Amino acid sequence: MNGNSFIFEYEPSTIHHGPGIVGNLESVLDRHDLSRALIVTDGNLSAVPVVMDPVKNGAGDRLVGTFDGVTPEKYLKTAYEGARRVRDEEIDALIALGGGSSLDIAKQISVLVGHDRPLDDVVDEILEREAMLLPEEGVQLIDIFAVPTTLPGADLSQVAGIKLSLDPAGQAKSEIPSAGVSDSRLMPTVVFHDLELFATTPERVLARSAMNGFDKGIEMLYTKHHNPITDGTAVRGVRLLYEGLPAITAESTSEDDLARIVRGIAAAQYGLSTPNAYRASVIHSFGHAIARNYEVQQGVAHAIAAPHVLRYLFEQVDGRRDLLAEAFRVQDETATAEETADAVVAAVAATRDALDLPSQLQTIEGTERSHFPDLAQAVIEDPFMDAGPRRLEATQSDIESVFERMW
Protein backbone atom coordinates (compact mmCIF):
# COMPACT_ATOMS: atom_id res chain seq x y z
CA MET A 1 0.00 0.00 0.00
CA ASN A 2 1.14 3.55 -0.64
CA GLY A 3 1.07 6.38 1.87
CA ASN A 4 -2.52 7.29 1.02
CA SER A 5 -3.95 3.80 1.60
CA PHE A 6 -4.83 2.08 4.85
CA ILE A 7 -7.11 -0.55 6.36
CA PHE A 8 -8.59 0.01 9.80
CA GLU A 9 -10.71 -2.82 11.21
CA TYR A 10 -11.94 -2.00 14.71
CA GLU A 11 -14.85 -3.10 16.88
CA PRO A 12 -14.46 -1.26 20.19
CA SER A 13 -16.54 -1.64 23.32
CA THR A 14 -19.65 0.38 23.96
CA ILE A 15 -18.58 3.11 26.43
CA HIS A 16 -20.85 4.28 29.25
CA HIS A 17 -19.36 7.44 30.77
CA GLY A 18 -20.54 9.46 33.74
CA PRO A 19 -20.97 9.64 37.51
CA GLY A 20 -22.84 6.62 38.90
CA ILE A 21 -22.98 5.01 35.47
CA VAL A 22 -22.47 1.47 36.89
CA GLY A 23 -26.06 1.76 38.03
CA ASN A 24 -26.87 0.74 34.43
CA LEU A 25 -25.19 -2.66 34.81
CA GLU A 26 -28.32 -4.74 35.32
CA SER A 27 -30.18 -3.20 32.40
CA VAL A 28 -27.11 -3.66 30.15
CA LEU A 29 -26.76 -7.31 31.21
CA ASP A 30 -30.46 -7.75 30.51
CA ARG A 31 -30.07 -6.19 27.07
CA HIS A 32 -27.41 -8.79 26.29
CA ASP A 33 -29.62 -11.59 27.70
CA LEU A 34 -27.10 -12.40 30.46
CA SER A 35 -28.28 -13.49 33.88
CA ARG A 36 -25.32 -14.87 35.87
CA ALA A 37 -22.51 -12.35 36.36
CA LEU A 38 -19.30 -12.72 38.37
CA ILE A 39 -17.19 -9.77 39.55
CA VAL A 40 -13.47 -10.34 38.93
CA THR A 41 -11.27 -8.16 41.14
CA ASP A 42 -8.47 -8.19 43.71
CA GLY A 43 -8.66 -8.89 47.42
CA ASN A 44 -7.94 -5.32 48.46
CA LEU A 45 -10.66 -3.78 46.31
CA SER A 46 -13.22 -6.42 47.27
CA ALA A 47 -12.98 -5.13 50.84
CA VAL A 48 -13.79 -1.52 49.90
CA PRO A 49 -17.58 -0.96 50.15
CA VAL A 50 -17.48 2.44 48.43
CA VAL A 51 -16.28 0.63 45.29
CA MET A 52 -18.01 -2.73 45.60
CA ASP A 53 -21.47 -1.61 46.68
CA PRO A 54 -22.26 0.50 43.57
CA VAL A 55 -21.18 -2.37 41.30
CA LYS A 56 -23.10 -5.00 43.26
CA ASN A 57 -26.19 -2.80 43.42
CA GLY A 58 -25.85 -1.96 39.75
CA ALA A 59 -25.71 -5.63 38.74
CA GLY A 60 -28.70 -6.44 40.95
CA ASP A 61 -30.16 -9.94 40.86
CA ARG A 62 -27.88 -10.89 37.97
CA LEU A 63 -24.82 -10.92 40.23
CA VAL A 64 -23.84 -14.43 41.36
CA GLY A 65 -20.78 -13.47 43.40
CA THR A 66 -17.21 -12.15 43.47
CA PHE A 67 -13.91 -13.77 42.49
CA ASP A 68 -11.22 -11.70 44.24
CA GLY A 69 -8.06 -13.70 43.57
CA VAL A 70 -6.46 -11.17 41.19
CA THR A 71 -2.91 -10.01 41.95
CA PRO A 72 -0.64 -7.56 40.09
CA GLU A 73 1.46 -10.51 38.85
CA LYS A 74 -1.53 -11.98 36.97
CA TYR A 75 -0.64 -15.65 37.44
CA LEU A 76 -2.19 -18.24 35.13
CA LYS A 77 -3.14 -20.26 38.21
CA THR A 78 -5.46 -17.42 39.24
CA ALA A 79 -7.24 -17.39 35.89
CA TYR A 80 -7.48 -21.19 35.95
CA GLU A 81 -9.20 -21.08 39.36
CA GLY A 82 -11.55 -18.40 38.08
CA ALA A 83 -12.39 -20.48 35.00
CA ARG A 84 -13.23 -23.45 37.21
CA ARG A 85 -15.63 -21.29 39.17
CA VAL A 86 -17.22 -20.02 35.95
CA ARG A 87 -17.90 -23.59 34.86
CA ASP A 88 -19.12 -24.75 38.27
CA GLU A 89 -21.52 -21.82 38.71
CA GLU A 90 -22.58 -21.51 35.04
CA ILE A 91 -21.43 -17.88 34.81
CA ASP A 92 -22.29 -16.12 31.55
CA ALA A 93 -20.77 -12.65 32.18
CA LEU A 94 -17.60 -11.34 33.84
CA ILE A 95 -17.46 -7.90 35.44
CA ALA A 96 -13.77 -6.92 35.53
CA LEU A 97 -13.44 -4.36 38.32
CA GLY A 98 -10.27 -2.43 39.17
CA GLY A 99 -7.00 -2.03 37.31
CA GLY A 100 -5.53 -3.66 34.24
CA SER A 101 -4.73 -6.87 36.15
CA SER A 102 -8.42 -7.56 36.79
CA LEU A 103 -9.24 -7.06 33.14
CA ASP A 104 -6.36 -9.29 32.00
CA ILE A 105 -7.39 -12.07 34.38
CA ALA A 106 -11.02 -11.80 33.22
CA LYS A 107 -9.87 -12.20 29.62
CA GLN A 108 -7.71 -15.19 30.51
CA ILE A 109 -10.62 -16.73 32.41
CA SER A 110 -12.81 -16.40 29.33
CA VAL A 111 -10.19 -18.28 27.29
CA LEU A 112 -9.52 -20.96 29.91
CA VAL A 113 -13.18 -21.85 30.46
CA GLY A 114 -12.87 -24.26 27.53
CA HIS A 115 -9.62 -25.81 28.86
CA ASP A 116 -11.02 -28.46 31.21
CA ARG A 117 -7.60 -30.09 31.74
CA PRO A 118 -4.97 -30.16 34.49
CA LEU A 119 -3.22 -26.81 34.92
CA ASP A 120 0.22 -28.37 34.32
CA ASP A 121 -0.92 -29.49 30.86
CA VAL A 122 -2.16 -26.01 30.02
CA VAL A 123 1.17 -24.46 31.09
CA ASP A 124 3.18 -26.99 29.08
CA GLU A 125 1.08 -26.30 26.01
CA ILE A 126 1.52 -22.53 26.32
CA LEU A 127 5.28 -22.87 26.75
CA GLU A 128 5.49 -25.15 23.73
CA ARG A 129 3.36 -22.92 21.51
CA GLU A 130 4.65 -19.64 23.06
CA ALA A 131 1.02 -18.50 23.11
CA MET A 132 -2.26 -19.51 24.71
CA LEU A 133 -4.48 -21.80 22.66
CA LEU A 134 -7.71 -20.00 21.83
CA PRO A 135 -11.08 -21.62 21.15
CA GLU A 136 -11.65 -22.08 17.43
CA GLU A 137 -13.06 -19.21 15.41
CA GLY A 138 -16.79 -18.82 15.71
CA VAL A 139 -16.88 -19.96 19.34
CA GLN A 140 -18.36 -17.19 21.49
CA LEU A 141 -16.31 -16.29 24.55
CA ILE A 142 -17.88 -15.08 27.78
CA ASP A 143 -18.88 -11.42 27.66
CA ILE A 144 -16.65 -9.10 29.68
CA PHE A 145 -17.92 -5.87 31.19
CA ALA A 146 -15.02 -3.64 32.22
CA VAL A 147 -15.33 -1.29 35.20
CA PRO A 148 -11.90 0.36 35.51
CA THR A 149 -10.92 2.30 38.61
CA THR A 150 -7.43 3.28 37.36
CA LEU A 151 -6.16 4.95 34.19
CA PRO A 152 -3.72 2.70 32.27
CA GLY A 153 -6.06 2.52 29.29
CA ALA A 154 -6.45 -1.27 29.26
CA ASP A 155 -10.20 -1.42 28.72
CA LEU A 156 -10.37 -0.80 24.95
CA SER A 157 -8.05 -3.71 24.26
CA GLN A 158 -8.25 -7.25 22.94
CA VAL A 159 -4.92 -8.39 24.42
CA ALA A 160 -3.95 -9.77 27.83
CA GLY A 161 -0.74 -10.94 29.47
CA ILE A 162 -0.15 -13.54 32.16
CA LYS A 163 2.61 -15.11 34.28
CA LEU A 164 2.98 -18.89 33.97
CA SER A 165 4.54 -19.87 37.29
CA LEU A 166 2.56 -22.41 39.31
CA ASP A 167 4.62 -21.75 42.45
CA PRO A 168 6.35 -18.32 42.25
CA ALA A 169 7.82 -18.53 45.75
CA GLY A 170 11.59 -18.23 45.56
CA GLN A 171 11.62 -17.37 41.85
CA ALA A 172 13.15 -14.11 40.67
CA LYS A 173 10.60 -11.95 38.88
CA SER A 174 12.61 -12.02 35.64
CA GLU A 175 12.75 -15.84 35.72
CA ILE A 176 8.99 -16.37 35.62
CA PRO A 177 7.90 -16.92 32.00
CA SER A 178 5.04 -14.88 30.64
CA ALA A 179 2.65 -15.27 27.74
CA GLY A 180 0.07 -13.19 25.97
CA VAL A 181 -3.15 -13.67 24.12
CA SER A 182 -4.82 -11.51 21.48
CA ASP A 183 -8.19 -12.01 19.87
CA SER A 184 -11.00 -9.69 18.82
CA ARG A 185 -13.39 -11.75 20.97
CA LEU A 186 -11.54 -10.50 24.06
CA MET A 187 -12.56 -6.89 23.51
CA PRO A 188 -14.90 -6.03 26.41
CA THR A 189 -18.54 -5.87 25.42
CA VAL A 190 -19.15 -2.72 27.48
CA VAL A 191 -16.86 -0.37 29.40
CA PHE A 192 -18.23 1.65 32.32
CA HIS A 193 -16.21 4.81 32.94
CA ASP A 194 -17.82 5.70 36.25
CA LEU A 195 -16.41 8.99 37.53
CA GLU A 196 -17.51 8.26 41.10
CA LEU A 197 -15.50 5.03 41.14
CA PHE A 198 -12.38 6.68 39.69
CA ALA A 199 -12.70 9.28 42.45
CA THR A 200 -12.35 6.56 45.10
CA THR A 201 -8.87 5.62 43.88
CA PRO A 202 -5.97 7.27 45.74
CA GLU A 203 -4.36 10.08 43.75
CA ARG A 204 -0.97 8.37 43.87
CA VAL A 205 -2.39 5.23 42.24
CA LEU A 206 -4.26 7.25 39.60
CA ALA A 207 -1.11 9.21 38.76
CA ARG A 208 1.00 6.11 38.21
CA SER A 209 -1.61 4.41 36.06
CA ALA A 210 -2.30 7.59 34.09
CA MET A 211 1.31 7.76 32.89
CA ASN A 212 0.82 4.38 31.25
CA GLY A 213 -2.37 5.53 29.49
CA PHE A 214 -0.78 8.85 28.51
CA ASP A 215 2.17 7.06 26.87
CA LYS A 216 -0.19 4.93 24.79
CA GLY A 217 -1.53 8.08 23.16
CA ILE A 218 2.01 9.25 22.39
CA GLU A 219 2.91 5.89 20.88
CA MET A 220 -0.23 5.83 18.75
CA LEU A 221 1.23 8.79 16.89
CA TYR A 222 4.70 7.46 16.10
CA THR A 223 3.88 3.76 15.64
CA LYS A 224 4.40 2.40 12.14
CA HIS A 225 0.74 1.28 12.32
CA HIS A 226 -0.65 4.83 12.54
CA ASN A 227 -3.55 5.90 10.32
CA PRO A 228 -5.66 9.06 10.00
CA ILE A 229 -8.34 7.71 12.37
CA THR A 230 -5.98 6.87 15.20
CA ASP A 231 -4.04 10.09 14.58
CA GLY A 232 -7.19 12.11 15.21
CA THR A 233 -8.20 10.36 18.43
CA ALA A 234 -4.64 10.18 19.79
CA VAL A 235 -3.94 13.89 19.22
CA ARG A 236 -7.14 14.75 21.04
CA GLY A 237 -6.41 12.28 23.82
CA VAL A 238 -2.84 13.45 24.40
CA ARG A 239 -3.99 17.07 24.48
CA LEU A 240 -6.74 16.38 27.03
CA LEU A 241 -4.28 14.49 29.22
CA TYR A 242 -1.49 17.05 28.92
CA GLU A 243 -3.90 19.75 30.00
CA GLY A 244 -5.80 17.68 32.57
CA LEU A 245 -3.38 15.31 34.29
CA PRO A 246 -1.79 17.91 36.61
CA ALA A 247 -5.19 18.15 38.34
CA ILE A 248 -4.74 14.61 39.75
CA THR A 249 -2.19 15.84 42.27
CA ALA A 250 -4.33 18.77 43.36
CA GLU A 251 -5.84 18.65 46.85
CA SER A 252 -9.21 17.80 45.36
CA THR A 253 -9.75 16.73 41.74
CA SER A 254 -13.06 18.11 40.50
CA GLU A 255 -15.54 15.97 38.62
CA ASP A 256 -14.99 18.10 35.51
CA ASP A 257 -11.22 17.57 35.71
CA LEU A 258 -11.66 13.85 36.21
CA ALA A 259 -14.11 13.65 33.31
CA ARG A 260 -11.58 15.40 31.06
CA ILE A 261 -8.84 12.97 32.08
CA VAL A 262 -11.00 9.86 31.60
CA ARG A 263 -12.12 11.08 28.18
CA GLY A 264 -8.48 11.73 27.33
CA ILE A 265 -7.52 8.17 28.26
CA ALA A 266 -10.37 6.77 26.15
CA ALA A 267 -9.41 8.89 23.15
CA ALA A 268 -5.70 8.11 23.54
CA GLN A 269 -6.29 4.35 23.49
CA TYR A 270 -9.04 4.30 20.85
CA GLY A 271 -7.84 2.02 18.06
CA LEU A 272 -4.79 0.85 20.04
CA SER A 273 -5.73 -2.82 19.85
CA THR A 274 -7.04 -4.18 16.55
CA PRO A 275 -6.98 -7.60 14.83
CA ASN A 276 -4.04 -6.72 12.61
CA ALA A 277 -1.99 -4.44 14.88
CA TYR A 278 -1.25 -3.46 18.45
CA ARG A 279 0.01 0.10 18.47
CA ALA A 280 1.89 0.37 21.76
CA SER A 281 5.58 0.21 21.00
CA VAL A 282 8.98 1.49 22.11
CA ILE A 283 8.15 3.20 25.42
CA HIS A 284 6.21 0.10 26.44
CA SER A 285 9.15 -2.13 25.49
CA PHE A 286 11.39 -0.16 27.86
CA GLY A 287 8.64 -0.22 30.49
CA HIS A 288 8.33 -3.99 30.19
CA ALA A 289 12.09 -4.48 30.57
CA ILE A 290 12.07 -2.47 33.79
CA ALA A 291 8.79 -3.66 35.34
CA ARG A 292 9.44 -7.34 34.61
CA ASN A 293 12.83 -7.27 36.32
CA TYR A 294 12.16 -5.13 39.38
CA GLU A 295 9.37 -4.62 41.89
CA VAL A 296 7.96 -1.50 40.30
CA GLN A 297 4.57 -0.57 38.86
CA GLN A 298 4.60 -0.17 35.09
CA GLY A 299 3.39 3.44 35.20
CA VAL A 300 6.44 4.36 37.30
CA ALA A 301 8.69 2.56 34.81
CA HIS A 302 7.08 4.59 32.03
CA ALA A 303 7.53 7.84 33.95
CA ILE A 304 11.26 7.25 34.18
CA ALA A 305 11.65 5.97 30.64
CA ALA A 306 9.35 8.07 28.44
CA PRO A 307 11.30 11.36 28.04
CA HIS A 308 14.58 9.52 27.40
CA VAL A 309 13.00 7.07 24.97
CA LEU A 310 11.48 9.94 23.00
CA ARG A 311 14.85 11.72 22.93
CA TYR A 312 16.42 8.53 21.57
CA LEU A 313 13.69 8.13 18.92
CA PHE A 314 14.09 11.72 17.74
CA GLU A 315 17.83 11.18 17.37
CA GLN A 316 17.21 8.15 15.17
CA VAL A 317 14.07 9.03 13.16
CA ASP A 318 11.60 11.86 12.71
CA GLY A 319 9.14 10.14 15.08
CA ARG A 320 6.31 12.35 13.74
CA ARG A 321 7.50 15.08 16.06
CA ASP A 322 5.43 17.76 14.32
CA LEU A 323 2.20 15.86 15.05
CA LEU A 324 3.29 15.30 18.64
CA ALA A 325 4.04 19.01 18.93
CA GLU A 326 0.53 19.72 17.67
CA ALA A 327 -0.92 17.40 20.32
CA PHE A 328 1.01 19.21 23.06
CA ARG A 329 0.33 22.65 21.55
CA VAL A 330 4.06 23.40 21.41
CA GLN A 331 4.33 23.66 17.62
CA ASP A 332 6.30 26.64 16.29
CA GLU A 333 6.62 27.20 12.55
CA THR A 334 9.98 28.90 13.05
CA ALA A 335 11.44 26.07 15.15
CA THR A 336 14.04 23.65 13.82
CA ALA A 337 13.44 19.90 13.91
CA GLU A 338 15.69 19.67 16.95
CA GLU A 339 13.84 22.46 18.74
CA THR A 340 10.51 20.75 18.05
CA ALA A 341 11.89 17.51 19.49
CA ASP A 342 13.13 19.39 22.57
CA ALA A 343 9.69 20.92 23.11
CA VAL A 344 7.92 17.54 22.91
CA VAL A 345 10.36 15.88 25.31
CA ALA A 346 10.00 18.80 27.72
CA ALA A 347 6.20 18.52 27.61
CA VAL A 348 6.32 14.82 28.46
CA ALA A 349 8.79 15.43 31.30
CA ALA A 350 6.61 18.25 32.61
CA THR A 351 3.59 15.92 32.70
CA ARG A 352 5.57 13.31 34.61
CA ASP A 353 6.78 15.93 37.07
CA ALA A 354 3.26 17.32 37.53
CA LEU A 355 2.18 13.80 38.52
CA ASP A 356 4.99 13.73 41.09
CA LEU A 357 6.46 10.54 39.63
CA PRO A 358 10.10 9.37 39.78
CA SER A 359 12.52 10.53 37.10
CA GLN A 360 15.61 8.39 37.75
CA LEU A 361 16.13 4.66 37.29
CA GLN A 362 18.40 4.46 40.32
CA THR A 363 15.41 5.21 42.57
CA ILE A 364 14.04 1.71 41.82
CA GLU A 365 15.23 -0.77 44.42
CA GLY A 366 17.58 -3.41 43.05
CA THR A 367 18.68 -1.60 39.90
CA GLU A 368 22.36 -1.59 38.99
CA ARG A 369 24.19 -0.16 36.01
CA SER A 370 25.69 -3.59 35.43
CA HIS A 371 22.16 -4.73 34.49
CA PHE A 372 22.00 -2.43 31.45
CA PRO A 373 23.16 -5.03 28.86
CA ASP A 374 20.46 -7.49 29.97
CA LEU A 375 17.83 -4.75 30.09
CA ALA A 376 18.80 -3.58 26.60
CA GLN A 377 18.50 -7.11 25.28
CA ALA A 378 15.05 -7.41 26.86
CA VAL A 379 13.97 -4.21 25.09
CA ILE A 380 15.25 -5.40 21.71
CA GLU A 381 13.49 -8.77 22.10
CA ASP A 382 10.20 -7.28 23.32
CA PRO A 383 7.51 -7.88 20.64
CA PHE A 384 6.17 -4.33 20.98
CA MET A 385 9.39 -3.03 19.39
CA ASP A 386 8.07 -4.29 16.07
CA ALA A 387 5.41 -1.57 16.17
CA GLY A 388 7.98 1.23 16.51
CA PRO A 389 8.61 3.94 13.94
CA ARG A 390 9.63 2.84 10.46
CA ARG A 391 13.38 2.89 9.84
CA LEU A 392 14.18 2.62 13.54
CA GLU A 393 17.07 0.18 13.96
CA ALA A 394 17.58 -0.51 17.63
CA THR A 395 21.11 -1.58 18.56
CA GLN A 396 22.40 -2.94 21.85
CA SER A 397 24.74 0.02 22.41
CA ASP A 398 22.07 2.61 21.62
CA ILE A 399 19.56 1.03 24.01
CA GLU A 400 22.16 0.76 26.76
CA SER A 401 22.89 4.46 26.35
CA VAL A 402 19.19 5.22 26.93
CA PHE A 403 19.36 3.38 30.24
CA GLU A 404 22.48 5.39 31.09
CA ARG A 405 20.48 8.58 30.57
CA MET A 406 17.69 7.26 32.79
CA TRP A 407 20.07 6.38 35.58
For residues 51 and 81, membership in a common domain is answered with yes
Q: Number of structural domains, the chain?
A: 2
What are the pLDDT digits (tens) for 44-67? 999 999 999 999 999 999 999 999
Closest by CA position to 211, among listed 95, 309, 326, 311: 309
Average pLDDT of the residues in 249-259: 84
- Number of C-alpha atoms within 13 angstroms, CB side, residue 89? 21
Instruction: Answer whether residue 52 is part of any domain.
Output: yes
Q: Which of 164, 182, 198 is the last residue of a domain?
A: 198
Q: What is the CATH number for 44? A: 3.40.50.1970
For residues 192 and 208, membership in a common domain is answered with no
For residues 178 and 215, membership in a common domain is answered with no
For residues 65 and 192, membership in a common domain is answered with yes
Separation CA 354–CA 151 (nearest Å): 16
Q: Across-strand partners of 159? A: 182
Q: Which of 198, 215, 233 is the last residue of a domain?
A: 198
pLDDT given at position 117: 74
Backbone angles phi, psi at 31, to 5 degrees: -60, -30
- Looking at the predicted structure, is the pLDDT value of residue 80 above 70? yes
Instruction: Answer whether residue 289 is part of any domain.
Output: yes
Q: Which domain holds residue 309?
A: 203-406
Instruction: Answer whether residue 360 is part of any domain.
Output: yes
pLDDT given at position 172: 58
Instruction: Answer whether residue 2 is part of any domain.
Output: no
Q: Which of 198, 218, 247 is the last residue of a domain?
A: 198
Instruction: Answer whether residue 6 is part of any domain.
Output: no
For residues 351 and 394, membership in a common domain is answered with yes
More confident: 161 or 257:
257
What are the pLDDT digits (tens) for 103-128? 999 999 998 887 777 777 777 777 77
User: Cβ contacts of residue 245 below 8 Å, gap of 6+?
Assistant: 207, 210, 214, 261, 264, 351, 354, 355
Instruction: Answer whether residue 8 is part of any domain.
Output: no
Instruction: Answer whether residue 3 is part of any domain.
Output: no
Q: For the chain, first and last CA: distance in Å?
A: 41
For residues 143 and 208, membership in a common domain is answered with no
For residues 345 and 401, membership in a common domain is answered with yes
Separation CA 111–CA 114 (nearest Å): 7
For residues 33 and 181, membership in a common domain is answered with yes
Q: What is the CATH number for 394? A: 1.20.1090.10
For residues 147 and 178, membership in a common domain is answered with yes
Instruction: Answer whether residue 30 is part of any domain.
Output: yes
For residues 217 and 171, membership in a common domain is answered with no
**Packing angle of the helix pair 203-222, 228-244 (nearest 10 deg):** 150
Helical (H) or strand (E) element with 263: helix 255-269
For residues 82 and 148, membership in a common domain is answered with yes
DSSP string covering 314-382: HHHS-TTHHHHHHHTT---TT--HHHHHHHHHHHHHHHHHHTT----GGGSTT--GGGHHHHHHHHHH-
More confident: 6 or 245:
245
